Chain A
Amino acid sequence: MSDTTQPVVEISGLHKSFGSLQVLRGVDLQVERGQVVCVIGPSGSGKSTLLRCVNLLEEPTSGSVVVNGVELTDPDCDIDAARVRIGMVFQSFNLFAHLSVLENLTVAQRKVLRRSKEQAEEVARRNLARVGLTDKEHAMPAQLSGGQQQRAAIARALSMDPEVMLFDEPTSALDPELVGDVLGVMRQLAEEGMTMLVVTHEMQFAREVADQVVFMDGGGIIEQGDPASVIGAPSHERTRTFLSRVLDPTHHGPSDPAV
């Protein structure tokens, strides 16, 4: 399962439609072990859908998704078992509202991994320390700031010992002054060698942390490569248009196509 030469995530020929709406039109993407891949692109281009297909929160219409050597798109695949090793962090945090921070981190360890209470709490506390929330273990989610909630959500995913972490715009719902804390945690994760697939609008983060940047538009990958080339010197017109709008939102001419 943990073959070190094989990509952790291997997406090929991925199509996804909602009814008659084609959202993904044949996406191929690989994430190597220890790599950080950032996915950028305009709203509605299918970034979230792509990410959600990686742990099958969305069922692909066709194509295959292989994670840690397990083909998730195989109808016989035990998807619940496979998801344990795929951490997911949502834009809206989605901490369990009725559980304390510590319980949020232990509940799946205990119910899914069948760890003992002591072991689960030890793992949870270690991960809370990693994200700088040691003093918040007894707080309820509603008592935390957005940034703290998102860091707790990251710690919750980490507590399952994932082989890969998926992030869907983890900072988009945060007040600007809280974004840095979350990006800091993600940067540290990347430095520790975590394999990460990140949908983000934070170009600075992508430029500095990503090994590979993928630009999506209209349900397909338009270009991909190292951050310096995709963000620094994009070769496609659509990428340039998108980047100019994101990097300098107040100065884009009327010639830009509507989103």
Chain B
Amino acid sequence: MSKRQRARLFRGIQYGILVVALLVLVLAADWDALGRAFFDPAVIANQFPEVMTVALVNTITYTAMGFAFALAFGLVIALMRLSSVGPYRWIATLYIEFFRGLPALLVFLALGVGVGYAFGLNLDRSLSIMLALGLVGGAYIAETIRAGIQAVPKGQVEAARSLGMSPARTMITVVIPQAFRIILPPLTNELILLTKDSSLAFILGSTLAQHELTQFARNALNTDRSLTPIVVAGFCYLMITLPLSYLSRRLERRFGKGARTGPGRE
């Protein structure tokens, strides 16, 4: 058998296995039971509209607040990481390693519960969520931004400096705008991760109006005793994350190539 024939045979076998598996699934599964478990119309009716008007809105709000904070914070940490002042670099590195190495849940616990016990000051719930998401996200974003800044060719900085721009002016006018294009796709991925991490807000306890998607589904589980609330919540998450993931891939293709001056051999 030639190499090509063998490859074709293997592909045929793979398709065969897939068809058999699907057939077994279709014939053996109890579709009525499955349908009731996953897509119970009565339960779905119960979920709406609050799952959208409350839970989805809360998830997006928490994520957006956390991301805004993470972005600002990440930029500061990234600049510290690149600073010529040694201690700034050490602090930034320490911070990044520390928060990337911890479960986000632990940070939520620390801010939402630990701070209250330790200092007797109860952080506002929204503030805790924003801080927790921001502190964790900021550590990842700082690394992304640092990599983006370092990916800007050195010649761009030299050109700016030779025109009389100060280091700060060069950073703002030349480096950050170019780094931004480089980091936009990974930043979008970070937003997806934060969207999912916002579910950790459940640990802080919440009133009905403060439920985000995961807490909302969890609540509904107790009353409706069905998988359907989870399916609905999952669907809502995907409504946020799939477009973001598509956007990230689009941006990657758009900015990934070209947009460089020079023959690239400086």
Q: Is A156 interfacial (CB-CB < 8 Å)?
A: yes
Using CB atoms and an 8 Å cutoff, list the residues of chain B in contact with chain A: 153, 155-156, 158-166, 169, 173-174, 177-178, 181, 258-266
Known: A107-B173, A112-B169. A91 touches B266 (CB 8 A): yes
Do B165 and A111 have beta carbons less than 8 Å apart? yes
Q: For residue A98, which residues in chain B have a CB less than 8 angstroms away from its CB?
A: 174, 177-178, 181, 259
Known: A97-B156, A97-B259, A98-B259. A92 touches B266 (CB 8 A): yes
Do A83 and B161 have beta carbons less than 8 Å apart? yes
Q: For residue B266, which residues in chain A have a CB less than 8 angstroms away from its CB?
A: 90-92, 94
Do A92 and B163 have beta carbons less than 8 Å apart? no
Q: Is A88 interfacial (CB-CB < 8 Å)?
A: yes
Do B158 and A90 have beta carbons less than 8 Å apart? yes
Using CB atoms and an 8 Å cutoff, list the residues of chain A in contact with chain B: 55, 57, 80-81, 83-84, 86-88, 90-98, 107-108, 111-113, 140-142, 146, 149, 153, 156-157, 160, 173
Do B164 and A84 have beta carbons less than 8 Å apart? yes
Do A93 and B160 have beta carbons less than 8 Å apart? no
Q: Please give the distance in Å from B214's CB to the nearest CB on chain A.
A: 40
| A20 vs B266: C-alpha distance when bound (angstroms) | 23
Do B260 and A142 have beta carbons less than 8 Å apart? yes
Do A94 and B262 have beta carbons less than 8 Å apart? yes
Q: Please give the distance in Å from B180's CB to the nearest CB on chain A.
A: 9
Do A173 and B164 have beta carbons less than 8 Å apart? no
| A149 vs B166: C-alpha distance when bound (angstroms) | 24
Q: Which chain B residue shows the least CB distance to A173?
A: B263
Q: For residue B258, which residues in chain A have a CB less than 8 angstroms away from its CB?
A: 142
Do B265 and A92 have beta carbons less than 8 Å apart? yes
Q: For residue A107, which residues in chain B have a CB less than 8 angstroms away from its CB?
A: 173
Do B178 and A97 have beta carbons less than 8 Å apart? yes
Q: Please give the distance in Å from B151's CB to the nearest CB on chain A.
A: 12
Q: Which interface residue of A86, A95, A157, A160 has the most chain B CB atoms within 10 A?
A: A95
Do A149 and B165 have beta carbons less than 8 Å apart? no
Do B262 and A173 have beta carbons less than 8 Å apart? yes
Q: Please give the distance in Å from B162's CB to the nearest CB on chain A.
A: 4
Do B163 and A157 have beta carbons less than 8 Å apart? yes
| A81 vs B181: C-alpha distance when bound (angstroms) | 30
Q: Which chain B residue shows the least CB distance to A57?
A: B158
Q: Please give the distance in Å from B26's CB to the nearest CB on chain A.
A: 53
Known: A98-B177, A98-B259, A142-B259. A108 touches B163 (CB 8 A): yes
Do A146 and B263 have beta carbons less than 8 Å apart? yes
Q: Which interface residue of B161, B162, B166 has the most chain A CB atoms within 10 A?
A: B162
Q: For residue A57, which residues in chain B have a CB less than 8 angstroms away from its CB?
A: 158, 161-162
7 pairs, A vs B, C-beta closer than 8 Å:
A57-B161, A80-B164, A81-B164, A88-B162, A94-B261, A98-B178, A108-B160
Residue from A88, A91, A93, A160 within 8 A of B261 (CB atoms): A93
| A92 vs B174: C-alpha distance when bound (angstroms) | 17
